[in-house]
Structure 1
Amino acid sequence: MMKKSKKLMTALLAVSVLAACGQKEEEKVAEPVEQQETSIDISAEAEQFKSLLAGQMDSFVIDTELLATAIKKGKLEDAQKLYPLVTMYYERLQPLTPSFPELDEKINGNLVKGEETETTGFQRIAYGLFDEKKTAGYEEIAEELVADVKKLQANFATIDVTENNVLASAVTMFKEMANPRLTEPSVSGNEVYAVKAQTEAAEDLMEVFVPRVSTESADTATKEITALNEIVAYYEVGKEDYVNYNLFTAKQEQELITAVTNVQKALQQMNDSIK
């Protein structure tokens, strides 16, 4: 009987070990499924951010029409002065542009050296106004830009932003501002205007996301945005006018790049702490 009992106990022990191993294997298989089901929905915050920017769309259209009129009338200096101011509207919209890539390409597509005529929108106009220093030949491009901005205005309310993490998009926005935009200045030198506008977008994002992120990350972002605003304010030469970035010294460039990078990192911390 003792031998049989020992055999029975050994068998039972083996079954228990196998069952435990089987349970662990099941737990290992089930874990990825549980992770896949865990997601953070910030579509409401994206919609809220979009609504904050909706109020600028009428002015965006009006001022784009002013720029186009100056170009069509051959008023080069007026067009050069209007250009950086008008582009500020679009800089504020940068976190939303992943939600309308085709229209974004038409309004603000990259200018490739040697292929300037293949580009439309702001970058093509900047090439004419600041590189070629002329308005002739750019009348049709200006009219097309107005039409595209009006199309954006008309469709703005229905743009689907549910798949766009606008906070993460803002991180990318500031990363690209630090490099290459501030390391390779544009011919228009409108980078300080762009930084100011993007910082305003970041302030709107702060308003939207503070309830969803850690207090520490929000405090850090507020601190870094304030520091960047102070630097930008130093270069303000009139109401909404700023020093041309092409006039900056290497030291001034680095100071601005560092401040922009600090905001980028702070926004990344906010994004990482979304709950």
Structure 2
Amino acid sequence: MKNSKRIMIALVAVGLLTACGKKEENPVTEPVEQQEVKVDVAAEAEQYKSLIMGQMDSFTADTELLATYVKEGNLEEAQKLYPLVTMYYERMQPIASNFQELDEKINGEVVEGKEEETTGFQKLAHGLFVEKKTTGYEEAADELVENVKALQSELPTTDVSENNVLASAATMFNMMATNRLSAQSIANNEVYAVKAQTEVAEDLLEIFIPRVSTESAETTSETLKELNEIVAYYEVGKEDYVNYSFFTAKQKEELKTAVQRVGSALQEMNDSLK
């Protein structure tokens, strides 16, 4: 995604008096639209990709462990580990558009009536949390490991130079607020997802702070503090959070509002890029 500003310039000719005292007619000039101005954030995108690459060993190892639980028929442990493994992938969302084919395999949507055609996290979630079984999902678990390993291999050479990761993160937060926190998910792991995305915003704030206005950076810091306090309230153990299905309507609205504020603050940072 690219940050851009369009500037419309209207040129109005000023009448000049001629030597003989007569006024020339004012020429009519149509507004001129300048070319789209692109803000180069390739270095920042590459810096964020480097942070993501730093988690890939752990991501791969934990995905393998999740697959092991599935193949061993250990439903309880697989259910516990699943939301923690998905947190790694939540942190990758700002650059997911740069590996679209693998993204669809790793995190494709489950279509009702076509569950068998789905792969990745969502297919496993259907087995673990809807059907509440591991039998029949062994192959899907192995495929997920294979695709995560492929991503780990491809990521170093993935071109993110055209991706404004700051704008992508703002979109990510807005989608969380308007879509994911407003609908019932399969695994009800929304708080885990919000926590992971909050870490994304914190990293991007640090990366982009030299390029954005002080005011927008301060606003983002304040909104992140508010969101972190809300998320911390629902922590029930080390890296473990309350199931989103247990939230009241008021609690859901509070979380959604805090997420929206972070999204807006990130957008303000993006708008102030220099």
TM norm structure 1: 0.89
Q: Partners in 2 of 1:265 and 1:104 — Cα distance?
A: 26
CA apart distance, 1:185: 2.5
1:5 — aligned with what?
A: none
CA apart distance, 1:187: 2.0
2:150 — aligned with what?
A: 151
Q: Partners in 2 of 1:38 and 1:81 — Cα distance?
A: 47
1:21 — aligned with what?
A: 27
CA apart distance, 1:102: 1.0
8 Å CA contact retained: 1:71, 1:79: yes
Q: Partners in 1 of 2:218 and 2:50 — Cα distance?
A: 24
State whether structure 2 residue 133 is matched by structure 1 residue 127: no
Q: Partners in 2 of 1:184 and 1:68 — Cα distance?
A: 27
Unaligned ranges ≥5, structure 2: 1-17
CA apart distance, 1:176: 1.1
Q: Partners in 2 of 1:185 and 1:201 — Cα distance?
A: 23
Paired residue secondary structure (1:21): coil
CA apart distance, 1:9: 7.4
Q: Partners in 2 of 1:256 and 1:86 — Cα distance?
A: 22
1:188 — aligned with what?
A: 187
For 1:167-182, list aligned pairs within 5 A. 167-182=166-181
Q: Partners in 1 of 2:172 and 2:119 — Cα distance?
A: 21
2:102 partner letter: L
Larger radius of gyration: 1
Q: Partners in 2 of 1:123 and 1:175 — Cα distance?
A: 21
Paired residue secondary structure (1:269): helix
Change (3 A) 1:250 1:41: same
Q: Partners in 2 of 1:219 and 1:64 — Cα distance?
A: 36
Q: Partners in 2 of 1:245 and 1:9 — Cα distance?
A: 80
Paired residue secondary structure (2:38): coil
Question: Number of residues paired by the alignment?
Answer: 257
Q: Partners in 2 of 1:203 and 1:185 — Cα distance?
A: 27
Q: Partners in 1 of 2:212 and 2:36 — Cα distance?
A: 21
**Identical aligned residues as a percent:** 65
Q: Partners in 2 of 1:176 and 1:119 — Cα distance?
A: 22
8 Å CA contact retained: 1:185, 1:191: no
For 1:66-105, list aligned pairs within 5 A. 66-105=65-104
1:56 partner letter: Q
Q: Partners in 2 of 1:230 and 1:153 — Cα distance?
A: 33
8 Å CA contact retained: 1:43, 1:162: yes
Post-superposition Cα deviations, 1:167-217, rounded to whole Å, max 9, x if no partner, equal: 111111111111211111312111000000000011111011111111100
User: Greater share of helix residues, 1 or 2?
Assistant: 1
Paired residue secondary structure (2:95): helix
Post-superposition Cα deviations, 1:117-156, rounded to whole Å, max 9, x if no partner, equal: 1210001100000000000110000000000000110111
CA apart distance, 1:163: 1.2
1:38 — aligned with what?
A: 37
CA apart distance, 1:101: 1.0
2:165 — aligned with what?
A: 166
> After TM superposition, what 4+ stretches of structure 1 lie above 2 angstroms from structure 2?
none
Q: Give me the CA root mean square deviation.
A: 1.7
Q: Partners in 2 of 1:96 and 1:273 — Cα distance?
A: 21
Q: Partners in 1 of 2:199 and 2:36 — Cα distance?
A: 35
Paired residue secondary structure (1:182): helix
CA apart distance, 1:98: 1.1
CA apart distance, 1:248: 0.7
CA apart distance, 1:83: 0.1
Paired residue secondary structure (1:237): strand
CA apart distance, 1:53: 1.6
1:138 — aligned with what?
A: 137
2:215 — aligned with what?
A: 216
8 Å CA contact retained: 1:111, 1:123: yes
State whether structure 2 residue 260 is matched by structure 1 residue 254: no
CA apart distance, 1:36: 1.2
Q: Partners in 1 of 2:198 and 2:65 — Cα distance?
A: 25
